[in-house]
Amino acid sequence: MLSIIISSYQEDYYKNLHENIKNTIGENFVHEIIKIDNPGLMGICEAYNKGASKASYDYFLFIHEDILFQTADWGDKLIAHFNTLKNPGVLAVAGTSYKSVLPVGWWSFNDYRRLHIDQITKQKEVHSHRLQHTEEVMITDGVFLAMTKNIWNQFKFNDKNLDFHGYDIEISLDVSKKKQNYVLHDILITHLSSGNITRNWLDRLIKIYSHHNSASDNFTRDNEIASYEIFFRYLNRFKYSKLEKLKVFLMFYKPHMFSLRDNYKILHMFLFYFNHKY
């Protein structure tokens, strides 16, 4: 019924997760675990596609190996969502219902973030997030990505992406054009990492957003203006040159979306960060 695909490079994490799945998924729930050994041999997209091509069942779950399931009998709950939700695309445990024009982290807009997960930080602090209801989203986080075999066949992961970044955003945005993505409220996992952003992450995000350069239907002026400042800070944080800053700014700047006053504010912001020393 469910094929679970894992790109693995940390054996201890994998062994713990394998045992955890056996103890939580449901006593008689039909499933398989497909492990793709990947100690830097390939990008996660290639690993996931290889795993999916070997899958026996019609429902797929792509997960990181540094997680543990807390919910009992979660297998039946997951399949039930595919049968009851309207036009389901990617089902996740974290994501956002807002996509800005500018390439910024999906978690940037608090009012639109949807998470049902426990995250453990580098300082061993636990950050708990809970939903009362399953929520519609556009972008999903890659820690947990469930979809049908048919969805994967239509969209697949982008094998041209050779690293670990952005694959989740790319496939969820592709799927969202035809299907509805969701964050689930009744499957809880613990993620043993809080993640990290790098220059490679931003480079990949810029490339993805250059192909998905429209705002979401719930566009707000305040969010878009805020995204400019977040983006400019990213550029400085990761030491983009002045020429690189100018190039990406012009790539995403859409003056027709804003009033004269707003455009002045955006340009003033850009000049400040453009001239700002690292």
Q: Taking 70 as the threshold, does the pLDDT of residue 278 lie above it?
A: no
CA 166 – CA 136 distance, rounded (Å): 20
pLDDT, tens digit, for every residue of 145-156?
Answer: 999 999 999 999
CATH code for the structural domain at 2-195: 3.90.550.10
User: Which parts of the chain fold into alpha helices (H)?
Assistant: 11-24, 44-53, 74-84, 149-155, 167-176, 199-211, 221-237, 242-252, 260-275
153 half-sphere exposure, CB direction, 13 A CA radius = 8
Q: Return the pLDDT at 163.
A: 75
pTM as predicted:
0.95
171 has pLDDT over 90: yes
Is the confidence at residue 216, as pLDDT, over 90?
A: no
140: helix, coil or strand?
strand
Q: What is the pLDDT of residues 56-95, one digit of tens each?
A: 999 999 999 999 999 999 999 999 999 999 999 999 999 9
> What tokens appear for 19 in the block?
């045992």
pLDDT at residue 194 in the model: 75
pLDDT of residue 277: 67
| CB count in 10 Å sphere of residue 168 | 24
Rg (CA), the chain: 19
Residue 196: per-residue pLDDT: 82
Average of per-residue pLDDT values in the chain: 95
Percent with pLDDT over 90 in the chain: 90
Share of the chain above pLDDT 70, in %: 99
pLDDT tens-digit map of 174-204: 999 999 999 999 999 999 987 789 999 999 9
Residue 6: phi and psi, rounded to 5, are -130, 125
CA distance 45 to 160: 8
CA distances 133 to 92, 136, 186, Å, are 13, 10, 8
Q: Is the pLDDT of residue 160 over 90?
A: no
- 145 in Cβ contact with 90 (< 8 Å): yes
Is there a contact between 103 and 201 (Cβ–Cβ < 8 Å)? no
- Extract the tokens encoding 167: 């694959």
3-state secondary structure of 178: coil
Domain with CATH 3.90.550.10 in the chain: 2-195
Q: 233 to each of 198, 207, 236, 265, how far by Cα in Å?
A: 13, 18, 5, 15
pLDDT tens for 218-273 read 989 999 999 999 999 999 999 999 999 999 999 999 999 999 999 999 999 999 99
Q: What's the average model confidence in pLDDT over 29-39?
A: 97
* Cα 42 from Cα 81, distance rounded (Å): 32
Helix (H) or strand (E) holding 3: strand 2-8
